[in-house]
Chain A
Amino acid sequence: MRLRNDGPWGLCSSRQFLWRSSLGQVLYFMESFDPAELPELLKLYYRRLFPYAQYYRWLNYGGVIKNYFQHREFSFTLKDDIYIRYQSFNNQSDLEKEMQKMNPYKIDIGAVYSHRPNQHNTVKLGAFQAQEKELVFDIDMTDYDDVRRCCSSADICSKCWTLMTMAMHIIDRALKEDFGFKHRLWVYSGRRGVHCWVCDESVRKLSSAVRSGIVEYLSLVKNMKNDKCGPWLEWEIMLQYCFPRLDINVSKGINHLLKSPFSVHPKTGRISVPIDLLKVDQFDPFTVPTISSLCRELDVISINEKEREENEADAKPRTRDYKKTSLAPYVKVFEHFLENLDKSRKGELLKKSDLQKEF
């Protein structure tokens, strides 16, 4: 599925593309996103598309630690930029209800605290502490503004996106081979960058100092020196241009809040989707579904389903809605990531029970 990229990225740009529906019908869609429609779109998204089961499966981490999910902080940005912190939920159904009720424009994930964040005011002063969190990285295209000439600030194009692809390659290799991190989830931020969530059990417990140390290890800070000569000049220029640029503040704080996977970017409408590491070179941010395109797909599905129900005698089991949309492949990537987490967890439990000689 090749797309034509003409014109710069921006708000409300319209694009045409082909989509093959489940009935083999070829339909044209005008992919346009209007932020004013968000309240309605989000309502639909949170009711029928957001993958709550997988999301809960992730943050619950197998239920091995008591109250791990219940002590997790979420923050919501509501309509009109109302920001509320210290949201926490009892279980998947509670999360679902609240999200559908509040219809957040933005969702951020914070740390796992010592107590339920939504009760933090009742806790004795100083006792409410952030305890664990995934190690996160945020690579933002604006940090490359000094070396890209095609775009600037919030704009991106396929040319400068290569910088992002390179950064993902370099950082992921280092995280995997140098640090031995196994569970790395890369997520498109929805506009101009990517996030990485490292979810290994030991990593979630790392101190702020070690997190800072990891960012320092991964960073090459260099002054722009154009007057350098010598055999390394070409290599240095390459490094200066292409080496990943990380924001240390995002990674070092255990209580730092970062945009949640599968949340919506309020300015572009793009969903923050997981990126398949095996196909990272082919990842194209311009093909990421927007909330409006997804909702339109849902409309089509409803129409088609009604038709089908009228035509068929036996009622097939209802499949989850997102599976019928272009969100499906991204949820699959997420599920693959979750399966690996589960496998690791089982392996750890087996090891522990072997040590304790339990049966």
Chain B
Amino acid sequence: MEFSGRLRKKLRLACDQKNACYPHSLQFYLQPPSENISLIEFENLAIDRVKLLKAVENLGVSYVKGTEQYQNKLEAEIRKLKFSYRENLEDEYEPRRRDHISHFILRLAYCQSEDLRRWFIQQEMDLLRFRFNILPKDKIQNFLKDSHLHFEAISDEEKTLREQEIIASSPSLNGVKWESESVYKIPFADALDLFRGRRVYLEDGFAYVPLKDIVAIILNEFRANLSKALALTARSLPTVQSDERLQPLLNHLSHSYTGQDYSTQRNAGKISLDQIDSLSTKSFPPCMRQLHKALRDNHHLRHGGRMQYGLFLKGIGLTLEQALQFWKQEFIKGKMDPDKFDKGYSYNIRHSFGKEGKRTDYTPFSCMKIILTNPPSQGDYHGCPFRHSDPELLKQKLQAFKISPTGISQILDLVKGTHYQVACQKYFEMTHNVDDCGFSLNHPNQFFLESQRLLTGGKDIKKESSQPETPQPKPSVQKTRDAASALASLNSSLETELEGLEDYFSN
């Protein structure tokens, strides 16, 4: 029928129009997005991309980039977060749009300091490299053209003319079929790393670059452009930051913990006090293990240590009553007067459980928070041992924990590369005798839960049947986000996390 035919055409046109916006599964982010989006979507896109880039970072240090394992895991992460990665898939408009917009949002957050910029550029480059490497050969030329890169593949005649020279000069062509390989002609200055090492054929000011080497050049160009763009973005940042809706998100995005907050009393009452000593060596992360030992040795902990350890204990399931008993018992051993304890310390413990003052139920500290804030000084035992301990001292601690020498050197290498949480994951793998811990560590309580799951085979942990009745109001101690906007995202992230956990624990 004519009518339906027209409708079908209209739909197809609309679809084509959409696809025309994003003709490829990857892009250089040359043009900023121009549509309107809701604040909620703005936040969600930002958070999702942060998760993606963190996964990119994690996988990049845990696996050799480019290997099948690395690629499969990265592809899974990208697919999970619903970003684009591959051509030839159905319905690619939405993932590409999400990719486009989220990149530009993160530019706002990550342009603010040299360190942030470096981190952002590194992860975006790794992501681009992955996507480019899985591009089918016939799509490459179109992608380069659409990205306004002046890289032209030379004709077959030109290729044949210079066959001997190009093959002789390009080590990357070893073992590759000459006929199938494209060669690109680019100004020599754009191929710096290649020509300085004499790994490319130069003629009359141009470098004749095989496809394999073009990737490195493209990435360099991408890095240079992104670096410039971030510098420009930083200059217009004051205008953006004056928007009150965006300011809290942008300020804290780079520091935010975007996972579960472990504050719900899901496991409340399931730990008994006499288990803590053995749990500390079996399932505690090193930061808490060292705090526990210091408490037992000195019968005292300073404020920073009490906060970090106390909230962790709450997260693993200690009730208020248990906590009061635990701390009092220990402090009294240190010749503290019981009355003094009641007066000075018990109030604070009740406060941290939300039973005093403004009744905020404080959430246990995430790794990010422990690493970035309140560094320990002499006489403190809190903080992250991988971040805050001197490498020699850390080595000794690990030896005391009976980690093998190879494990220790791997951990120290990761620490040198500032990959503290991955170093802690390595510690997990060594102490639990597994090759792959199977999770991306960003919270001490997560470490504990994963450890318990492994050791008890998931049987002892109750299946979570209901969601929390009311979401906890954001604690000011955390300083992660503004209350109002955070509420919405807290709800959504909690929901998704809990959904995941349900499947997790039901075996």
B192–A213 touching, CB < 8 Å:
yes
Q: Which of B201-219 contact A (CB under 8 A)?
A: 202-206
> Which residues of chain A are within 8 angstroms of B197 by Cβ–Cβ distance?
216
Given contacts A179-B188, A206-B189, contact A213 B196 (CB under 8 A): yes
Decide yes or no whether A6 CB sits under 8 A from chain B.
no
Q: Is the CB of B195 within 8 A of A213?
A: yes
Tell me if B402 is interfacial: C-beta within 8 Å of chain A. Answer: no
Say whether B205 contacts A181, CB under 8 Å.
Answer: yes
Main DSSP-derived SS at the A contact region: helix
B198 within 8 Å of A (CB atoms)? yes
A12 part of interface (Cβ distance < 8 Å): no
Known: A179-B202, A217-B202. 20 other contacts (CB 8 A): A177-B203, A177-B204, A178-B188, A178-B202, A178-B203, A179-B188, A180-B188, A180-B203, A180-B205, A180-B206, A206-B189, A209-B192, A210-B192, A213-B192, A213-B195, A213-B196, A214-B196, A216-B197, A217-B195, A217-B196
Give B238-277 as 1s and 0s: 1 = Cβ < 8 Å from A's Cβ atoms: 0000000000000000000000000000000000000000
With A179-B205, A181-B205 known to touch, is A217 a contact of B189 (CB < 8 Å)? no
- Distance to closest chain B CB from A91 (angstroms): 33
Contact B205 A210 (CB under 8 A): no
Within residues 82 to 139 of chain A, which ones have a CB less than 8 A from any CB in chain B? none
A214 to B196 alpha-carbon distance, docked (Å): 6
Q: How far is the CA of A179 from the CA of B202 in the complex (A)?
A: 7
Find out whether the CB atom of A180 lies under 8 angstroms from the CB atom of B204. Answer: yes
Of all chain B residues, which has the CB nearest A209?
Answer: B192
Question: Any chain B CB within 8 A of the CB of A60?
Answer: no
- A-side interface size class: 10 to 19
A338→B195 CA distance, assembly (Å): 30
A-B contact count (CB 8 A): 31
B residues apposed to A, CB below 8 Å: 188-189, 192, 195-198, 202-206
Q: Roughly how many angstroms separate A150 CA and B224 CA in the complex, as a whole number? A: 51
A216 close to B196 (CB less than 8 A)? yes
Given contacts A206-B189, A210-B192, contact A217 B198 (CB under 8 A): yes
| 7 examples of A-B residue contacts, CB within 8 angstroms | A177-B204, A178-B188, A178-B202, A179-B205, A216-B196, A216-B197, A217-B195
CA distance in complex: A210, B196 (Å): 8
Closest to A182 in B: B205
Task: Identify which of B188, B189, B206 gathers the most chain A CB atoms within 10 Å of its CB.
Answer: B189
The CA of A347 and the CA of B497, in the complex, are separated in Å by 67
Q: Give min CB distance, B235 to chain A, whole Å.
A: 16
Chain B contacts of A344 at CB under 8 A? none
Chain A residues with Cβ under 8 A from B188's Cβ? 178-180
Least CB separation from A200: chain B residue: B205
B203 and A212 form a contact (CB under 8 A): no
The main secondary structure of chain B at its interface with chain A is mixed
Whether B204 lies near A212 (C-beta < 8 A) is no
User: When chains A and B are docked, how far (Å) is the Cα of A206 from the Cα of B190?
Assistant: 11
Contacts of A214 on B, CB cut-off 8 Å? 195-196
Task: Name A's B-contacting residues (CB within 8 A).
Answer: 177-181, 206, 209-210, 212-214, 216-217
User: A304: shortest Cβ distance to chain B, in Å?
Assistant: 50
Closest beta carbon of chain A to B169's beta carbon, Å: 10
Cβ contacts under 8 Å, A209 to chain B = 192
Q: How far is the CA of A206 from the CA of B202 in the complex (A)?
A: 17
Q: Across the interface, which residues of B come within 8 angstroms of A179, CB to CB? A: 188, 202, 205
> Complex Cα distance A181/B196, Å?
16
- Report the Cα distance A217→B192, complex, angstroms: 10
Chain B residues with CB under 8 Å of A213's CB are: 192, 195-196
**Closest residue on chain B to residue A206 by CB atoms:** B189
Does the CB pair A210–B189 fall under 8 Å? Answer: yes
* Bound CA span A351–B198, Å: 33
Indicate the member of A206, A210, A212 with the most B CB atoms within 10 Å.
A210
A181 and B202 CA atoms in complex are apart in Å by 12
The chain B residue sitting closest to A215, CB to CB, is B196
Q: Determine if B189 and A212 form an interchain contact, defined as CB atoms under 8 angstroms apart.
A: no
How many angstroms between the C-alpha atoms of A177 and B205 in the bound complex? 8
In the bound assembly, the distance between CA atoms of A279 and B33 in angstroms comes to: 61
- The distance in angstroms between the C-alpha atoms of A73 and B196, with both chains bound, is 29
Q: Which residues of B contact A217 (CB under 8 A)?
A: 195-196, 198, 202
Q: How far is the CA of A214 from the CA of B188 in the complex (A)?
A: 10
Contacts of B205 on A, CB cut-off 8 Å? 179-181
Closest 5 CB pairs of A and B: A180-B205, A213-B196, A178-B202, A180-B204, A216-B196
CB distance from A248 to the nearest CB of B (A): 11
- A206 surroundings in chain B (CB, below 8 A): 189
Closest to A180 in B: B205
Closest chain B residue to A174, Cβ basis: B202
Report the minimal beta-carbon distance from B216 to chain A, rounded to whole angstroms: 14
The CA-CA distance from A74 to B308 in the complex, in Å, is: 64
A302 shortest CB reach to chain B, Å: 49
Residue in A closest to B201 when the chains form the complex, CB atoms: A178
Beta-carbon nearest neighbor of B193 in chain A? A213
A177–B188 Cα distance when bound, in Å, is 12
Query: CA separation between A181 and B188, bound complex, in Å?
Result: 11
Which residues on B sit within 8 Å (CB–CB) of A178? 188, 202-204
Chain A residue nearest to B197 (CB atoms) is A216
A208 CA / B196 CA spacing, docked (Å) = 13
Q: Which residue of the partner chain A has the closest CB to B192?
A: A213
Q: How far is the CA of A210 from the CA of B198 in the complex (A)?
A: 13
With the chains together, A210 CA to B197 CA distance in Å?
A: 12
**Contacting residues, chain A, for B196 (C-beta < 8 A):** 212-214, 216-217
Q: Which residue, B196, B198, B204, has most C-beta atoms of chain A within 10 A?
A: B196
Which chain B residues lie closer than 8 Å to A216 at the CB level?
196-197
Query: How far does the Cβ of B170 sit from chain A's closest Cβ, in whole Å?
Result: 14
Give, as a whole number of angstroms, the nearest-CB distance from A220 to chain B. Answer: 9
Among A178, A181, A209, A216, max chain B CB count under 10 A is at A178
> In the bound complex, how far is the Cα of B193 from the Cα of A209, in angstroms?
10
Name the distance in Å between B194's Cβ and chain A's nearest Cβ: 9
* Distance, CA A181 to CA B192, complexed state (A): 16
Give, as a whole number of angstroms, the nearest-CB distance from B150 to chain A.
Answer: 14
Task: Tell me which residues across on chain A come within 8 A of B198, comparing CB atoms.
Answer: 217
Q: How far is the CA of A214 from the CA of B189 in the complex (A)?
A: 9
Which residue of the partner chain A has the closest CB to B194?
Answer: A213
Shortest CB distance B200–A (Å)? 10
A215 to B188, alpha carbons, bound, how many Å? 14
The minimal Cβ–Cβ distance linking A174 to chain B, given in whole angstroms, is 9
Closest chain B CB from A303 CB (angstroms): 52
| Shortest Cβ distance from A207 into B: residue | B189
Measured CA separation A180–B188 after assembly (Å): 10
Q: How far is the CA of A150 from the CA of B404 in the complex (A)?
A: 62
Residues from chain B with Cβ under 8 Å of A177 in the complex:
203-204
**Measured between alpha carbons, how far is A180 from B198 in the docked complex, in Å?**
16
Q: Closest approach, in angstroms, between the C-beta of B488 and any C-beta of chain A?
A: 45
Give bound CA distance, A216 to B195, whole Å: 9
Give complex CA distance A86, B57 in Å: 48
Q: Which residues of B contact A210 (CB under 8 A)?
A: 189, 192
